[in-house]
Amino acid sequence: MTAAKNRILELRAELDQHNYRYHVLDEPSIPDAEYDRLFNELKALEAANPELITSDSPTQRVGSAALSAFTQVRHEVPMLSLGNAFEETDMREFDRRVTEGLDLPAGDLFGGGATVEYSCEPKLDGLAVSLLYQDGVLVRGATRGDGTTGEDISVNVRTVRNIPLKLHGTGWPATLEVRGEVFMSKAGFERLNATQLEVGGKTFANPRNAAAGSLRQLDSKITANRPLEFCCYGIGQVSADIADTHIGNLQQLKAWGMPISHELKLAQGIAECLDYYRDIGERRNALPYEIDGVVFKVNSIASQRELGFRAREPRWAIAHKFPAMEELTELLDVEFQVGRTGAVTPVARLKPVKVAGVTVANATLHNMDEVARLGLMIGDTVIIRRAGDVIPQVVQVVMERRPENARPVQIPEKCPVCGSHVERTQLIKRSKGRETVSEGAVYRCVGRLACGAQLKQAIIHFVSRRAMDIEGLGEKSVEQLVDEGLVSSPADLYALTFEQIVDLEGFAELSSKNLLGAIEDSKKPGLARFIYALGIPDVGEETAKVLARSLGSLERVQQALPQVLTYLPDVGLEVAHEIHSFFEDAHNQQVIADLLRHGLQIQDQGELAAEFAASTTLGGFLDKLHIPSVGPGGAQKLADKFGSLQAVISADWLDMRQALPEKQANSVREFFALEENRQLAEAAEKQLADFGMHWQSEKKVVEGLPLAGQTWVLTGSLELMSRDVAKDKLESLGAKVAGSVSAKTHCVVAGPGAGSKLTKANELGLKVLDEEAFVVFLKEHGVPV
């Protein structure tokens, strides 16, 4: 055997072992990164030695060429379905039939009687699959079909990560058919739908449909990219018996590498089965996958044989169902709600229906694109889904039931609250040097704070804990303040008097004083908090922090041009436009001026951040202009050659050709020949200069910082400042702050409770500072603490 072959076999065995620990035992023994390394090593070795690739290699779960149809497969042992129980009495009746069927003494009103041993397992909501192993190797996978004939989906099942391509250990029957459910976890389903929405693909109504649609793909390469999982719940055709009990069978299968349910339990008698049903029912929402009930099976295989079958159902098993999460109802109307940023959102008014025990009469429809995607009309019969704690959703229209008088859903032209005009938002994209505008999914009322709905929401947001943190002002009180005309902008809060508040419902002397105190106490917000409190559309806490940290002053944030804003981490062109137009709006300017007039003093203002200054290089700037056919490389060449925007704009043809090939050179000249492009670029450059940026200082700024090029890690809890603040301070000195410790880490700041990161830092012999030493260090470097 060659060395390559040896290593390949070794790697496969190791990867199989890790797969087993990960998927079956749930006890991964190596980090994902290490697994990936082994996997890639195997892939590389196989690529170099294709003759050594075998179909059971873990690298072969990638799907094969698309099929034109599935071939049919006959199930030697039919794949049956289960009888259903909905009520406790159905379950007691089932137990009585089992007890009688086995000739065991029945109990009476006072109990007594024999107890039957049952296995209990969740009823996964996916689709039944049969896996055939010959001499321990997976040779065929099939769907249930009508129970007698299914479809051959071998290539598809091979892509499901936790289905063993080869059984572990020894002693398996030469022919072994494993049965179980292929399903999609809740998280996998959410991820898949999010991706499908992004790429404009079909979304799925629920995890079950997603699993079915993914597994029954003629192109198994698609299946390979879907987050499918398998859970084994029994056996079909076998050349030799395995164990005496159902649970014994499953445990043996687990030892051979089959994933089985973590919730598998043994119950003595029906009472314990009912306990199990209740327990799983309570934990249903918290389980990572959807279940529609639990399954009880007589545990003894001999008893199962004695009981046998009735029609297409075993007499020894039953499904005890949970309330359904999907129901049909009628869409009575669609109303429109106005949110904080003016977004006008369609809400479905439904004929009340009980879904999983809760009456549902409303469901959000998100936006008009969603209405269009569903093809929804008023009067339609729709499928409503309420998964766990999730808000009820309309997942599908039952087209066959559309009445003749069904009406289309129309976005109102005027805001239902204030009567202002409703406008469709626009999406701004930049390509080939131009901004192109397309229609967005969201409609907005242009009334801003003149719209009662927006004003109330804006104030609720403004006073919230993570914004201005004004305690004692709940939603009801805000509504009163607005409805009474006492407050028509956030700034008015600072003009409220004791007499005005004390008359409001729910307020007394003390609470009014407390509220006025809280309002007074909120007058010194940090810059990030203040920006967040303004409620700029699309600007959450993170973006607010980025704006504050990078630009350093309210004035700069207010003035920043969209082109300049896109320099900030995670700020795209659309958000940049939102921010810019928010501050351009005269009404918003007035609110900010009023707030300052009422004595608001914004803290933490100062210089432009060094890392922002350093991120604005001329090359990067020219690249951001998106000059057609000029990529980052070309932009850098222009910067190297000309050194300033003006020099690029006024360059003559010969000079330009020295920097770039003809096509690109032409493109640059054409670009700047357009007045509009030139103005935009000049304005942005001028603003960067006003902010204190100079191309000459490129890189030098960060390079000149004391911690430039260093990576620091924060771990444990800090008492004198939050981790975020510590991070900001380090970054202001030019350091990068990373989440994990490696040999490249320069220093670790460890507070109380530090764990594995600190251990690792000590193992690697890295420099470690406690909080006290860290504070001293910061002070030494001129950073206030």
178, 237 Cβ separation under 8 angstroms:
no
User: Cα separation of 462 and 468, whole Å?
Assistant: 6
144 assigned ligand-binding residue: yes
Please identify which of the residues 5, 123, 727, 744 carries the catalytic annotation.
123
Residues in 311-330 that interact with ligand IVH by CB under 6 A: 314, 317, 319
Among the listed residues 379, 374, 375, 376, the one whose alpha carbon sits nearest the alpha carbon of residue 405? 379
Strands 767-769 and 747-750: parallel
Q: What is the dihedral of CA 713, 719, 720, 724, to 10 degrees?
A: 40
Q: Binding string to ligand IVH for residues 37 to 76, with x set by CB under 6 A, is what?
A: ----------------------------------------
Judged by CB under 6 A, the residue of 45, 73, 82, 210 near ligand IVH is 82
DSSP H helical ranges for 377-488 = 452-463, 475-483
User: Cα separation of 737 and 726, whole Å?
Assistant: 10
How many Cβ atoms sit within 10 Å of the Cβ of residue 200?
Answer: 6
Report in angstroms how near the CB of residue 36 gets to ligand IVH at its nearest.
32
Nearer to ligand IVH, 317 or 571 (CB): 317
Report in angstroms how near the CB of residue 169 gets to ligand IVH at its nearest.
23
User: Cα separation of 319 and 306, whole Å?
Assistant: 20
In 3-state terms, what secondary structure has residue 627? coil
Per the listing, tokens 């997976």 go with 138
DSSP at 324: P
Strands, E, within 339-459: which ranges? 344-355, 358-364, 377-378, 381-385, 393-397, 407-408, 422-431, 434-445
DSSP codes of every residue in 150-190: EEB-HHHHTTSTTS-SB--SS---SEEEEEEEEEEBHHHHH
380 assigned ligand-binding residue: no
278 assigned ligand-binding residue: no
Report in angstroms how near the CB of residue 277 gets to ligand IVH at its nearest.
13
Q: Applying CB under 6 A, which part among 55-63, 80-88, 102-110, 380-388 lies near ligand IVH?
A: 80-88
User: Which tokens sit at 544?
Assistant: 């607010």
Residues in 161-200 that interact with ligand IVH by CB under 6 A: 181
C-alpha 736: how far from its chain's center? 26
Report in angstroms how near the CB of residue 746 gets to ligand IVH at its nearest.
53
Report in angstroms how near the CB of residue 233 gets to ligand IVH at its nearest.
4
Strands, E, within 37-154: which ranges? 72-74, 83-85, 117-124, 127-134, 137-143, 149-151
Nearer to ligand IVH, 314 or 472 (CB): 314
User: Cα separation of 276 and 294, whole Å?
Assistant: 9
The site for ligand IVH, by CB under 6 A, has a size of 15
321 assigned ligand-binding residue: yes
418 assigned ligand-binding residue: yes
Report in angstroms how near the CB of residue 175 gets to ligand IVH at its nearest.
19
Judged by CB under 6 A, the residue of 12, 23, 123, 637 near ligand IVH is 123
Nearer to ligand IVH, 146 or 542 (CB): 146
370 assigned ligand-binding residue: no
Nearer to ligand IVH, 23 or 123 (CB): 123
Judged by CB under 6 A, the residue of 234, 259, 346, 734 near ligand IVH is 234
Nearer to ligand IVH, 124 or 338 (CB): 124
C-alpha 134: how far from its chain's center? 40
In 3-state terms, what secondary structure has residue 341? coil
C-alpha 484: how far from its chain's center? 41
230-263 b/e with 16+ CB inside 10 Å = b?
bbbbbbbebeeebeebbbebbebbbebbbbbbeb
Tabulate helix, strand, coil % of the chain (nearest 5).
40, 20, 35
Nearer to ligand IVH, 124 or 417 (CB): 124
User: Cα separation of 464 and 460, whole Å?
Assistant: 6
297 assigned ligand-binding residue: yes
Report in angstroms how near the CB of residue 291 gets to ligand IVH at its nearest.
8
Burial of 663 (0-12, 13-18, 19+ CB in 10 A): exposed
Asked whether position 233 contacts ligand IVH by CB under 6 A, the answer is yes
Report in angstroms how near the CB of residue 79 gets to ligand IVH at its nearest.
7
33 assigned ligand-binding residue: yes
Judged by CB under 6 A, the residue of 16, 46, 95, 121 near ligand IVH is 121
In 3-state terms, what secondary structure has residue 386? coil
User: Cα separation of 317 and 84, whole Å?
Assistant: 9
Asked whether position 153 contacts ligand IVH by CB under 6 A, the answer is no
Asked whether position 685 contacts ligand IVH by CB under 6 A, the answer is no
User: Which tokens sit at 480?
Assistant: 């009163």
User: Which tokens sit at 216?
Assistant: 């029954």
451 assigned ligand-binding residue: yes
Report in angstroms how near the CB of residue 317 gets to ligand IVH at its nearest.
5
Report in angstroms how near the CB of residue 218 gets to ligand IVH at its nearest.
22
Nearer to ligand IVH, 177 or 370 (CB): 177
Residues in 124-143 that interact with ligand IVH by CB under 6 A: 124, 128
231 assigned ligand-binding residue: no
118 assigned ligand-binding residue: no
Asked whether position 80 contacts ligand IVH by CB under 6 A, the answer is yes
Residue nearest to ligand IVH (CB): 128
In 3-state terms, what secondary structure has residue 671? helix
Among the listed residues 444, 514, 502, the one whose alpha carbon sits nearest the alpha carbon of residue 472? 514
Residues in 89-108 that interact with ligand IVH by CB under 6 A: none
32 assigned ligand-binding residue: yes
Nearer to ligand IVH, 155 or 318 (CB): 318
Nearer to ligand IVH, 147 or 169 (CB): 147
Residues in 482-541 that interact with ligand IVH by CB under 6 A: none
Residues in 281-300 that interact with ligand IVH by CB under 6 A: 295
User: Which tokens sit at 650?
Assistant: 């006024």
User: Which tokens sit at 105?
Assistant: 């003494």
Report in angstroms how near the CB of residue 81 gets to ligand IVH at its nearest.
4
Strands, E, within 521-629: which ranges? none
Strands 228-238 and 175-184: antiparallel
Nearer to ligand IVH, 168 or 265 (CB): 265
547, 531 Cβ separation under 8 angstroms:
yes
Nearer to ligand IVH, 234 or 751 (CB): 234
Does the annotation count 123 as an active-site position? yes
Asked whether position 741 contacts ligand IVH by CB under 6 A, the answer is no
Among the listed residues 535, 526, 608, 612, the one whose alpha carbon sits nearest the alpha carbon of residue 578? 535
Asked whether position 81 contacts ligand IVH by CB under 6 A, the answer is yes
Residues annotated as binding site for Zn(2+)? 415, 418, 451
**Residues engaged in binding ligand IVH (CB under 6 A):** 80-82, 121, 123-124, 128, 144, 181, 233-234, 295, 314, 317, 319
Instruction: State the catalytic residues.
Output: 123
Residues annotated as binding site for NAD(+)? 32-36, 81-82, 121, 144, 181, 297, 321
Residues annotated as binding site? 32-36, 81-82, 121, 144, 181, 297, 321, 415, 418, 451
